[in-house]
Each structure stands twice: as C-alpha cells, then as structure tokens.
Amino acid sequence: MNMKNAENPYGIVRELDATADIEIIAISDTVENLFAATGFALFNLMTDLSAVEPKYRWKVRITGTADFASGLVDWLNELIFLYETKHVFLSRFDVRIREDELTADVWGEEIDPERHEFRMGIKAATYHRLRVERSKEGWIAQVVLDV
C-alpha cells in the first residue's frame, strides 16, 4: 500500500467530524512515520505547510512514557510547545523510537505573517478516544486536538 501522498509525506491523515475540536486519524507504515505524520498534520492544520521551508532544526526528546498512545500525546504537546515558544511552524520530521525513548529532529522556520497563512491555533493533544495500534494496514493513530 502506498502510504505517502502529496498532502502528508509520512502517511495518510484524515480529519473526522468532532463538534468543538479536531479529531484526526492517521495511518502509516512504521510507528516512527506515524508520529511524523501526526506532527505534519498538526502543523498543516495551523498553516499551509507548502510555504514553510525546513530551514532550521530543533531536537525533541521524550522519555519515560507508558505506551505509544501516551507517547503520541507527549510528542504532539512537545511540538505545540515548540511552536508557541519558538514561534515556528515545522514541516519536516525525522523520528526515532527505542523502547521508552523518542528522539526526533524536526525542521521548520520562524512564523512570517507575510508568507505564512494562519488557519487555527491548537492548544493541546488530548487523551480522548486516543489510540495507537498496529493493524494489517499498518500503524494507526487516532487523537483529538483541542482548538
């Protein structure tokens, strides 16, 4: 199955109908690409990532998480933290997961109101309807984001 597409280079991500928030479901070939896909989707909800160049790199490290699902929430919340504190949009993700540690290199650039469209702000990833599972089709994640 071809997991890559023009919308999201790391997997297939769809937005579900959720009344007050954004719920996404993602599918990818590896769990690392699944995390990358959700990271890309997070920023693609906030802006048009085709206008965001992967100019600068930041490192992310998450440890001590109980399971992949909790790890996904920690990962997305760490990306939200980077976005808000460094004022950046991120468009490229290289994720490595070993036992209970996630390390990642992420690339993007500082938010430029002249070039970057503002779509919405995302406050946090939640634990509601959260799952990360392996299936015949690949790795699947489902997560609700608070807008």
Partner 1 sequence: MEMKLEKLSEYKWKLPIGSVPGMRVPGIVYGDEALIRSIEKEGSLKQLAQSATLPGAEKAALAMPDIHYGYGFPIGGVLATRCSDGVISPGGVGFDINCGVRLLTTPLSKSDIDKEVEPLVRRLFSYVPCGVGSRGKIKLRKKEMKPVLREGSRWAVENGFGVDADLVVTEAEGCLRDAEPSDVSIHAYDRGRDQLGTLGSGNHFIEIQYVDAVYEADVAEAFGLHEGRVTIMIHSGSRGLGHQVCTDYLKVMQSAVNTYNIHIPDRQLACAPFRSKEGQAYLSALKCAANFAWANRQCLMHWVRQAFHDALGDQCRYDDMPLVYDVAHNIVKIETHNVGGKKVKLAVHRKGATRAWGPHREELPEKYRPWGQPVLIPGDMGTASYVLVGTEHAMAETFGSACHGAGRVLSRKAARRAAKGRSIVRELADKGIAVMSAGRGTIAEEMPDAYKAIDDVIRIVSGAGIARPVVRMRPMGVIKG
Cβ closest to partner 1, residue 113 vs residue 136? 113
Tell me the window of 53-61, 95-103, 121-129, 134-142 that interacts with partner 1 (CB under 8 A).
121-129
Write out the two tokens for 142.
């489902």
Burial class (CB in 10 A: 0-12, 13-18, 19+), 111: middle
- 3-state DSSP assignment of residue 62: strand
Applying CB under 8 A, which of residues 113, 114, 135, 136 lies at the interface with partner 1? 113
Q: Which residues contact 41 (CB under 8 A, 6 or more apart)?
A: 8, 13, 24, 26
H/E element, 4: none
Tell me the closest approach of the beta carbon of residue 37 to partner 1, in angstroms.
Answer: 18
- 3-state DSSP assignment of residue 114: coil
Given the DSSP bridges, would you call strands 124-125 and 101-110 parallel, antiparallel or unpaired? unpaired
Tell me the window of 5-13, 73-81, 101-109, 132-140 that interacts with partner 1 (CB under 8 A).
73-81
Cβ closest to partner 1, residue 46 vs residue 95? 46
Tell me the window of 34-42, 54-62, 93-101, 119-127 that interacts with partner 1 (CB under 8 A).
119-127
Q: Please report, as ranges, the residues that interact with partner 1 according to CB under 8 A.
A: 15-22, 46-47, 66, 70, 73-74, 77, 81, 83-85, 87, 111, 113, 116-121, 123-124, 126-130, 144, 146-147
